């Protein structure tokens, strides 16, 4: 593992990893939310599961720095559901956005809260809450409810695609949970009840896929195909107007993240990691300390990063490396406290 027990206690003890980002091969960033006590869970429930109740942490990890200097953290209080992405232009930075459009940026000598993502009524991209982000053509793209799509141009500067899309006629049935692209003139956004759209560099077009179930995630893959994951593990592949079903609800929980790495699609949910290779969906065969790092995936600069409640690990040049195994560290921490 690439974390000392003292570092784990300082940075991650009492928190669970809820997202991960690869800025480049040597710089990763994790998002973590505080684990609630039983009394706090009851209060959380009374607040209708308001995600701002849970304190968040942004945790940069500098892989090539000396041991003891690799980890950092920033606390965010009152922030809602919070996701991160890598902006490679105009600067190499982690950019995190919560459901309310609050923005936090760190990297390239900067660590600060920026202005909120502009709302649709002000000419901005946020029409229904920001849910996901991806790096496309070096820029960070965001997507969200009510068919929100935007591109971060620079600090406090956003380009809105939302105005180019009509709102869904039935509230709650449309909107985007994920976005990806082969290039900035070949982008797919998915979500809602089979609400799938394509941007060709000039206009957005709604597509028809062979299901009417809810779409959760999308990957524009290295084999030239687009993969869309829907509820209960339904997986669809194709491009443009031609689609086919690869799997029919073989997994109980849908896939939160789909990414292309090496020669296949990797799929993640809280129960584990799967791969799609030559049209076949299979559970990934991984060592136990790697398999527990399920939940979220991010690929950049030839590195695959996996992270979740059980910890974090990355794959590079065909080999997996454990960053932190949370169950093991919690066990060691309890033993250390018992003997102190």
Q: What is the pLDDT of residue 248?
A: 67
Q: pLDDT by residue (tens digit) across 246-303?
A: 976 667 788 999 999 999 999 999 999 999 999 999 999 999 999 999 999 999 999 9
**Domain total in the chain:** 1
Helices (H), the chain: 5-11, 38-46, 288-291, 326-338
Instruction: Tell me the average pLDDT of the chain.
Output: 94
Instruction: Give the residue-averaged pLDDT of 224-237.
Output: 93
Q: Is the pLDDT of residue 184 over 90?
A: yes
pLDDT digits (tens, 9 = 90+) for 55-106: 999 999 999 999 999 999 999 999 999 999 999 999 999 999 999 999 999 9
Q: Mean pLDDT, to the nearest integer, of 181-187?
A: 98
Mean pLDDT, residues 149-169 taken together: 95
Q: Which domain holds residue 123?
A: 5-338
Does the pLDDT at position 226 exceed 80? yes
**Which pLDDT belongs to residue 191?**
96
> Torsions phi, psi of 154, nearest 5?
-175, -175
Cα gap 316→334, rounded to integer Å: 32
What's the predicted TM-score (pTM) here? 0.94
| pLDDT tens-digit map of 92-145 | 999 999 999 999 999 999 999 999 999 999 999 999 999 999 999 999 999 999
Cα separation, 111 vs 128, in Å, equals 27
Which residues on neighbouring strands pair with residue 107, listed in sequence order? 110
Percentage of the chain lying above the pLDDT 70 cut: 99
Run of H or E including 322? strand 319-325
Distances (CA, A) of 204 to 111, 199, 319: 34, 4, 40
CATH of the domain at 95: 2.130.10.10
Q: How far is CA 9 from CA 37, 142, 329, in A?
A: 17, 33, 9
For residue 249, the model assigns a pLDDT of: 62
């Amino acid at each position: 593992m690439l974390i000392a027990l003292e570092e784990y206690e300082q940075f991650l003890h009492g928190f669970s990893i809820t997202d991960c980002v690869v800025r480049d091969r040597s710089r990763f960033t994790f998002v973590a939310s505080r684990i609630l006590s039983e009394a706090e869970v009851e209060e959380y429930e009374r607040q209708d599961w308001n995600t701002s109740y849970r304190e968040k942490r942004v945790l940069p990890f500098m892989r090539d720095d000396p041991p003891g200097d690799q980890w950092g953290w920033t606390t965010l209080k009152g922030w809602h559901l919070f996701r991160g992405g890598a902006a490679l232009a105009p600067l190499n930075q982690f950019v995190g956005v919560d459901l309310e459009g609050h923005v936090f940026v760190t990297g390239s000598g900067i660590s600060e809260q920026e202005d909120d993502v502009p709302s649709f009524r002000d000419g901005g991209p946020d029409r229904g809450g920001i849910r996901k982000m991806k790096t496309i053509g070096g820029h960070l793209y965001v997507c969200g409810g009510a068919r929100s799509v935007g591109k971060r141009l620079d600090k406090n500067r956003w380009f809105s695609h939302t105005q180019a899309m009509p709102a869904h006629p039935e509230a709650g049935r449309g909107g985007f949970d994920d976005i990806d692209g082969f290039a900035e003139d070949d982008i797919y956004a998915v979500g809602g009840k089979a609400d799938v759209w394509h941007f060709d560099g000039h206009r957005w077009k709604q597509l028809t896929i062979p299901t009417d179930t809810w779409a959760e995630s999308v990957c524009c893959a290295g084999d030239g195909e687009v993969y869309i994951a829907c509820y209960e593990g339904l997986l669809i592949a194709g491009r443009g107007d031609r689609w086919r079903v690869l799997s029919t609800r073989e997994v109980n929980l849908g896939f939160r993240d789909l990414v292309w790495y090496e020669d296949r699609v990797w799929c993640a949910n809280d129960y584990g990691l799967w791969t799609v290779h030559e049209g076949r969906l299979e559970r990934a065969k991984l060592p136990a300390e790697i398999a527990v790092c399920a939940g979220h995936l991010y690929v950049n600069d030839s590195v695959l990063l996996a992270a979740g409640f059980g910890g974090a690990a990355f794959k590079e040049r065909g080999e997996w490396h454990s960053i932190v195994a949370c169950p093991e560290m919690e066990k060691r921490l309890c033993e250390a406290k018992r003997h102190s």
